Amino acid sequence: MSAQAGALRSLVDFYATGMRTAVQSQFQYRVANYFWMVGMLAEPVIYLVVWTTVARAQGGELNGITAGQFAAYYIVWTLVRNMNIVFTPYGWEWRIRDGQLSGLLLRPLHPLHYDLAYFAGWKVVVIVLWLPVAGILALAFRPELSPNVAQVAAFALAIWGAYLIRSMFLWLLGMLSFWTTRVSAVFEVFFVGELLLSGRLVPMQLMPEWVQGLAGFTPFYWTFGFPIEALVADLDGRTLVEGLLLQALWTLIGLGLVLVAWRYAVRRYSAVGN
């Protein structure tokens, strides 16, 4: 039992150190991070302008969503989107082709831990840098947002749940690179599904009921729609708790698939490095 406790403590120390290193590193490049974040604002601002314009043209609201609620949705969207930036499947092509994975395999922990720790530290920087950006967007678009304490708490957990889910499934996609030299085609199919079923393109309330029902059975909604709605929609406590539990379930499903796929994928690794 003490050995297990020691291993867990060592793992916690590893994550704390990895995140701290990422925070220190990314704050050194805060201007670059700001330009990255500003560059990503184009997508939500376009969505925001389009849907608020449509809402006003329809008398002030569309399917029960007002222009101010659209503003709140897409401003929160910008943080959720940044939280969902994880190690890309395209990066696996580079890792394998250049032999970078060789060094990772020599380390004592599963490579997944290194990615999770580093990107988690980066997210701390992202959240801090996002706050003034959100303030500017709020002044420009006047969102209608009045969450209660339970919603704020659920949102704080949900953005990290979204990060873990997307990390697992993009890691899973990336491992296809062990069997093929190009993973882009599969990733593009995944991306289309994410656009349509996650709430990333439009709030799920605007989608047909059958699409909303289908979305709940995929990981996509739990990485975008649920975290956003946890803060901007009028969800009750039970719905928030159920959503967080389903995020945990999808994280475990993704982790299980990653661990199984890794056992077979690493056997095919043949790069020797530089």
Q: Is the pLDDT of residue 1 over 60?
A: no
Cα 228 from Cα 241, distance rounded (Å): 15
pLDDT tens, 24-66? 888 887 778 777 777 777 888 888 888 888 888 888 788 888 8
Mean pLDDT score, 141-147: 90
Q: What angle do CA 111, 117, 118 make, to 5 degrees?
A: 95
Q: Is the pLDDT of residue 272 over 60?
A: no
Q: What percent of the chain has pLDDT over 70?
A: 97
pLDDT tens, 74-128? 999 999 999 999 998 888 888 877 777 888 888 888 999 999 999 999 999 988 8
Of the candidates 217, 267, 265, 270, the one whose C-alpha atom is nearest the C-alpha of residue 89 is: 265
Domain-wise residue ranges, the chain: 14-268
**What is the pLDDT at residue 95?**
83
Lowest mean pLDDT among 51-60, 133-142, 157-166, 195-204: 51-60
**What is the pLDDT at residue 240?**
96
Can you tell me which residue has the tokens 């991070």?
A: 33
Cα 134 from Cα 143, distance rounded (Å): 10
The helices-and-strands tally (H runs, E runs) of the chain is: 13, 2
**What is the pLDDT at residue 271?**
58
Cα 166 from Cα 168, distance rounded (Å): 5
**What is the pLDDT at residue 35?**
79
Mean pLDDT of the chain: 88
Q: What percent of the chain has pLDDT over 90?
A: 45
**What is the pLDDT at residue 257?**
96
Cα 182 from Cα 93, distance rounded (Å): 7
- Residue 66: its H or E element: strand 65-66
Q: What is the C-alpha R_g of the chain?
A: 20
pTM (global) more than 0.85: yes
**What is the pLDDT at residue 2?**
67
pLDDT tens, 206-223? 899 999 999 999 999 999
